[in-house]
Amino acid sequence: MKVNKGNDSKEKTLYTGVGLVTPLIFNPSREELDRVLGIERDEDYEQKPEFEYVKDDAVLKVKRKNEEGEEFDEEVETKRLNVTVWVRETKTDEVFPISFTLYDIDDVSSTGKVKYVTQHGKSTYVDSEANLPDWFKFTPGKKKMALNYKVAKRGEAALLEFLAKWTNISPFDIESSLFPENSKKFWNGDMKELNSLLLDFGDSSVMAQFGVRSKEVEQEDGSTETKEYQTISTKSFANAKFMKFFRNYANKNFEGLLKESDNKNFLVFDTKAKIGDDSMYELANFLNNIHGEYGVSEFTTLTEIKEYDPSENPLNQEKSIVSSETDADY
């Protein structure tokens, strides 16, 4: 008889809200991940297969429009690259993965607009390259210098935004670029260029939104069970310097940043807000992307990171009502 020590099941704590995360490693091997997580394996431990970060024949559904303007789904076979960065959250001191999924296919919207990205991680959709605005193509200020830009691959813009907020890349620095120097190696899963950034930015953090995703899982007996999973949104990030402003606004119910709105389904934050000489555009834009009309679908909170309270989740409240109504019949 043999019982492996430390094999007891422990329910993992879930979190919601805004946290400060510091990257530790990109796309680690299983052995490297064990070191990051502080896990020591027995000598006779049977190592699991390595993570599959690259898939050459992934199938992606993309939305298209026919000549009549009707939307339809088209399946496209293409290369998929998963970029998983393991981060340490400052307040909880816990380690989490953030996963970016990239596809080697141009990022084109259902209306035919193409997404472009700059060397500094800015992105925008346009119907033609000729219509790219100057704020996108050039550095800010009076002395404008041309930036490198290209058509974005699907999912690429989210990763570049994360890198931009993490490294705090200067919008005036045309010598610095977030584009891989060797794209072929990058798309084949070689993360040396990303991991090399840890040497210069190992102590830098980025604001990220934690949430909880609920999923119905079918059991062996045919019944379903709701399982909840930790998420960290890749929809938007913000530079760490805005965390102090976020806390300041949170202490006064976001007065001065949250705009009045008749719509109760989403929030609107003022991108023109200022505190002294500091523009709150980046913070407001981050919050709009998370809590706005096109925000995240998973449950989250407009707070600094905290332990998840299931009673706050409307999905659980709805289930409680359904359960109570059902119980009343017996």
| pTM over the 0.75 mark | yes
3-state DSSP assignment of residue 244: helix
Contacts of 225-233 with C-beta under 8 Å, sequence gap 24+, read 226/315, 226/319, 228/14, 228/308, 228/310, 229/14, 230/12, 230/14, 230/15, 230/96, 231/296, 231/298, 232/21, 232/87, 232/96, 232/97, 232/98, 232/208, 233/208, 233/209, 233/290, 233/296, 233/298, 233/300
CA 238 to chain centre: 11
Q: Is residue 274 within 8 Å of residue 282, measured between CB atoms?
A: no
Residue bearing the bigger pLDDT, 54 or 264: 54
Cα–Cα dist 212/316, whole Å: 12
What are the residue ranges of helices labelled H in 78-155? Answer: 134-137
Residue bearing the bigger pLDDT, 70 or 233: 233
Query: Which residues, other chains included, contact 66 with Cβ-Cβ below 8 Å and sequence gap of 6+?
Result: 72
Beta strand extents in 155-263 (DSSP E only): 206-218, 224-232, 238-239
Cα–Cα dist 165/179, whole Å: 15
pLDDT for 164-195, tens place per residue?
999 999 999 999 999 999 999 999 999 999 99
On the question of pLDDT at 325 being above 60, the answer is no
pLDDT band at 242 (very low <50, low <70, confident <90, very high): very high
Q: Is residue 157 within 8 Å of residue 116, measured between CB atoms?
A: no
3-state DSSP assignment of residue 165: helix
Q: Is residue 164 within 8 Å of residue 120, measured between CB atoms?
A: yes
pLDDT of residue 322: 37
Nearest to 16 by CA among 263, 302, 288: 302
Establish how many alpha carbons lie within 13 A of residue 102's alpha carbon, considering only the half-sphere containing its beta carbon. Answer: 19
Lowest-confidence range among 6-20, 80-94, 276-290?
A: 6-20
On the question of pLDDT at 206 being above 90, the answer is yes
3-state DSSP assignment of residue 315: helix
pLDDT for 110-160, tens place per residue?
888 999 999 999 999 999 999 999 999 999 988 999 999 999 999 999 999
In the block, tokens 């399946």 appear at 75
For residue 308, report the phi and psi dihedrals to the nearest 5 degrees: -65, 130
